[in-house]
Structure 1
């Protein structure tokens, strides 16, 4: 990449999109800042892709604005030299080689020819450069999509599920690539449902549910505002949950105990030692116990029915995040 690009903020204000009677996005506002990786999180159908398409001018909003560096995408003088995007990694001609594909888009954007070979090498596609894309795996198509997005050496990147189809080695490679792009000063917005990987990549998060903002700001601030948790794996989960909520004469009760989709108990308001002691006193089996808060737990709480104290009013965290910017 050339020099240190100066990233541009993505600013979404009051963004709303309705398709007939279906409300896809409702009064959505957040800012994506340069120089960091921002995770765009939400369950399927939350409105993430629709929001990204509105930022890129592919979908007209019903109301509100979406700008990049203060300008609509349509008003950018050289869009592909400012913004790179991957919304659908399968959008390649099956009869073209990877090299042909990149040269077509390079020519359309007016970018220098040497960018193609440089990106084929950087994205790990140099050995497959002259193969037809119909023979590519999903992971290779993801790499080719990223190479296409980077042709203009853009200052802003919008990537929709860029880790889909990548094996563990590919995920580690993607992590390093995105962190490196942000370190160069670029603005990087990444949507993903692979939360264990996102946690190792992102600095900021934007969480939406049913088209509305739930929380936005630095991940560290969201983790700080979220109470500590203890994860417990037990074949006696139902009985243990009842006991934790009831408490004992010697110790207090948990503030809250959630049963996670995989059967794990997520305990709030008790230390791990207290949980272990209570289970032993009740003669209930415990096969695993760990303290801490993962992004997956935070996501399930934020995007589920019960946002934690301090995060149940999105504007509070959003304003704090903006002040920190």
Structure 2
């Protein structure tokens, strides 16, 4: 399916279990060619939503489609969507090669694909070890290999970084970036926000089953601010304000500037022969954005 661009679309997606509403009227789109972080506190409804996208859970109302089709109507699901929901879904007596060979046969994939993925996922050295002896990180790699068997254009990954060491985290970031750059649609649920920030293009944030924000995360955080330290803070503030910057005091000799980037601030200071001792661009972290969007002020108090 190389060349296909398959968006994920949820529209009015709702799931109720008796009196409990796990997901409520959820609408969002995940675009191809991007890594999208699916974020929310524990119990927000992320896993339920992912399972509705793959037909494992039936929505109470609303629709979930991949490339415009519900998962159950896809002609070749395993070649369209790869999903990782459980890093322990292995027979303990099977080797990694056995496990992948079984799933490859079910998906109609050639044996060569097994060897290719063992190498790609860094498992070639452990291919003939039984999975009962695998570490959590190795299980995560094997889960990813299973999801990639059909060379899918869409990936749904629930906490794929669990158990990975720093080297594994770096490897995962590179893999996700590479897959998205190939035009695939990548949706990743994770609580490791400092890692997610390094690779995601977009975010979908939910709380108590409801959407609170969606879009490019850099847009959601707003433009960066520039923190300036200068012994000439007062005349510098006047010059920056005249250039359409928004300026506020941030302490003795310090200014916080919005609407102008760091090079422009430096150029204005030079034009007016004003001294700058420090110039720092401040950006809102994904973690701070997440907390701002999902923390209930009353609960925080």
Q: Which TM-score tier does this pair reach, normalised by the shorter chain?
A: 0.7 to 0.9
Residue of structure 1 in register with 2:110 after alignment: 112
Deviation at 1:194, TM superposition (A): 0.3
2:292 is the counterpart of 1:301 = yes
Aligned with residue 14 of structure 2, among 13, 16, 25: 16
Residues 303 and 152 of structure 1: is their aligned pair in 2 closer, same or farther, counting only changes over 3 Å?
same
Residue of structure 2 in register with 1:201 after alignment: 199
1:228–1:293 contact (8 Å) kept in structure 2: no
Give, in whole Å, the separation in 2 of the partners of 1:194 and 1:229: 27
Give, in whole Å, the separation in 1 of the partners of 2:198 and 2:2: 23
Structure 2 SS opposite 1:207? strand
Structure 1 gap ranges (5+): 231-268, 279-288, 307-325
Structure 2 SS opposite 1:296? helix
Give, in whole Å, the separation in 1 of the partners of 2:90 and 2:26: 32
Deviation at 1:55, TM superposition (A): 0.3
Residue of structure 2 in register with 1:55 after alignment: 53
Give, in whole Å, the separation in 2 of the partners of 1:188 and 1:157: 5
Over the aligned positions, Cα root-mean-square deviation in angstroms equals 2.1
Deviation at 1:291, TM superposition (A): 3.6
Residues 290 and 184 of structure 1: is their aligned pair in 2 closer, same or farther, counting only changes over 3 Å?
closer
Give, in whole Å, the separation in 2 of the partners of 1:45 and 1:156: 24
Per-residue CA deviations over 1:165-190 (Å, capped at 9, x if unaligned) read 00000000000000000011100000
Structure 2 SS opposite 1:139? helix
Residue of structure 1 in register with 2:186 after alignment: 188
1:10–1:32 contact (8 Å) kept in structure 2: yes
Give, in whole Å, the separation in 2 of the partners of 1:223 and 1:274: 20
1:94–1:132 contact (8 Å) kept in structure 2: yes
Aligned with residue 217 of structure 1, among 215, 218, 222: 215
Give, in whole Å, the separation in 2 of the partners of 1:229 and 1:48: 35
1:5–1:186 contact (8 Å) kept in structure 2: no
TM-score, with structure 1 as normaliser: 0.75
2:147 is the counterpart of 1:153 = no
Structure 1 SS opposite 2:4? coil
Per-residue CA deviations over 1:143-176 (Å, capped at 9, x if unaligned) read 0000000000000000000000000000000000
Structure 2 SS opposite 1:224? coil
TM-score, with structure 2 as normaliser: 0.80
Residue of structure 2 in register with 1:138 after alignment: 136
1:159–1:189 contact (8 Å) kept in structure 2: yes
Residues 9 and 30 of structure 1: is their aligned pair in 2 closer, same or farther, counting only changes over 3 Å?
same
2:118–2:124 contact (8 Å) kept in structure 1: yes
2:2–2:153 contact (8 Å) kept in structure 1: no
Structure 1 runs, 4 residues or longer, greater than 6 Å off? none
1:89–1:145 contact (8 Å) kept in structure 2: yes
Residues 229 and 301 of structure 1: is their aligned pair in 2 closer, same or farther, counting only changes over 3 Å?
farther
Residue of structure 2 in register with 1:75 after alignment: 73
Deviation at 1:220, TM superposition (A): 1.8
The alignment covers a number of residue pairs equal to 255
Structure 2 SS opposite 1:114? helix
Residue of structure 2 in register with 1:34 after alignment: 32
